[in-house]
Amino acid sequence: MPWIQLKLNATSANAEDIGELLMSNGALSATFTDAQDTPVFEPLPGETRLWGDTDITGLYEADADMQAIVEVLKKSPLLADDFAFKVEQLEDKDWEREWMDNFHPMQFGKRLWICPSWKPVPDENAVNVMLDPGLAFGTGTHPTTALCLAWLDGQDLQDKVVLDFGCGSGILAIAALKLGAKRVIGIDIDPQAITASRDNAERNNVSEQLELYLPADLPEGILADVLVANILAGPLRELSGSIEALVKPSGKLALSGILEQQADELIETYSQWFEMDAAQVKEEWARLSGQKCSKSQQ
Ligand SMILES: C[S@@+](CC[C@H](N)C(=O)[O-])C[C@H]1O[C@@H](n2cnc3c(N)ncnc32)[C@H](O)[C@@H]1O
């Protein structure tokens, strides 16, 4: 079925109210997009943080009377009589299928492949992670995930305990298990990430070795041989003391979600406890890695 979309521009102050105005006047959905290019990094679960300059797109059924709808919108105090808008016919497509068709198997490092769970694997003998990200972050297409996957592929994880701090879809946790880890602990602040990680672990037959926790439920006394955290520079800085304490002496660490220009400051922070390597960069994102000093206190 084809659709009609109405596009208009707003500010962060009135975007949500205008979205509600569209919804109460026939729109089936209201979508907010950045009119400039100002990334909003990682809002908290349930939080809608908008850009200063926001485009709003209302989606309507094909037979909606757009002229009448625009006349009603003009009467709202939220919009000027001559507000700028664009009405477009939206091509009919199977949108879910389109996304699925564009997600292909991808190789990381030498052994590891991330494969959409609905497509055949290219190499049966490779280390294959079958993935359906659901509503959580982590398909392997983002540079930060790709940098962490390539790092994990280069580690000897045989029989190791791995901690995935900010597990999202579970992509890193499951890759670690498939690369030989005996136990992986995944932590995330978002309950949807816990669900997606559990579903993906079952899909890969590794759910018995994967423990998943919201941060408040993490048992005491966990010490990992390897910790990987793909969150953001802010939380990596604020949580550095907690992250450090979860790694065994001589244990390994990889951090991402860091913009290239934030790398030096984080290297300095983590150098208190770890021998840090040079940052590896992909597009604008950096991955840091290091090994904990053997004399660090537990
Ligand atoms: C960028 S995603 C990474 C997902 C996956 N590990 C990957 O590499 O693709 C970051 C994840 O960390 C979670 N997160 C953010 N801050 C966190 C915190 N303070 N503690 C635990 N998880 C956090 C988010 O909910 C999100 O699922």
Query: How do strand 3-11 and strand 85-90 relate by DSSP bridges?
Result: antiparallel
Instruction: Please name which of 286, 285, 176, 170 lies closest in space to residue 227, comparing C-alpha atoms.
Output: 176
What pLDDT is recorded for position 216?
A: 95
pLDDT band at 22 (very low <50, low <70, confident <90, very high): very high
pLDDT of 46 over the 80 cut: no
Per-residue pLDDT tens digits for 154-210: 999 999 999 999 999 999 999 999 999 999 999 999 999 999 999 999 999 999 999
Per-residue pLDDT tens digits for 126-151: 999 999 867 678 888 899 999 999 99
ipTM: 0.99
Residues found in the chain? 298
Ligand 1: centre distance to CA 163 (Å): 12
Instruction: Please name which of 27, 21, 24 lies closest in space to residue 6, comparing C-alpha atoms.
Output: 27
Q: Which of 13-27, 122-136, 220-234, 240-254 has the lowest mean pLDDT?
A: 122-136
Q: Which of 91-95, 176-180, 194-198, 224-228 has the lowest mean pLDDT?
A: 91-95
Q: Whose CA is nearest to atom 14 of ligand 1?
A: 166
Question: For ligand 1, which residues put their CB under 6 angstroms from it?
Answer: 136-138, 144-145, 148, 164-168, 171-172, 187-190, 193, 215, 230-231, 235, 257
Per-residue pLDDT tens digits for 273-286: 999 999 999 999 99
- Where in the chain are all domains bearing CATH 3.40.50.150? 105-292
What pTM did the predictor assign?
0.76
Strands (E), 21-146: 29-34, 53-61, 85-90, 106-108, 112-116, 127-131
Classify 240 as helix, strand or coil: helix
- Where in the chain are all domains bearing CATH 3.30.70.120? 3-92
Q: What does the alpha-carbon distance between residue 92 and residue 162 come to, in Å, rounded to a whole number? A: 45
CATH topology of domain 3-92: Alpha-Beta Plaits (3.30.70)
Mean pLDDT along residues 2-19: 88
Mutation choice for ligand 1 from 135, 139, 163, 188, CB with most ligand atoms inside 8 A: 188
Residue 135, burial from CB neighbour count under 10 angstroms (0-12, 13-18, 19+):
exposed
Q: Which CATH number is associated with domain 105-292?
A: 3.40.50.150
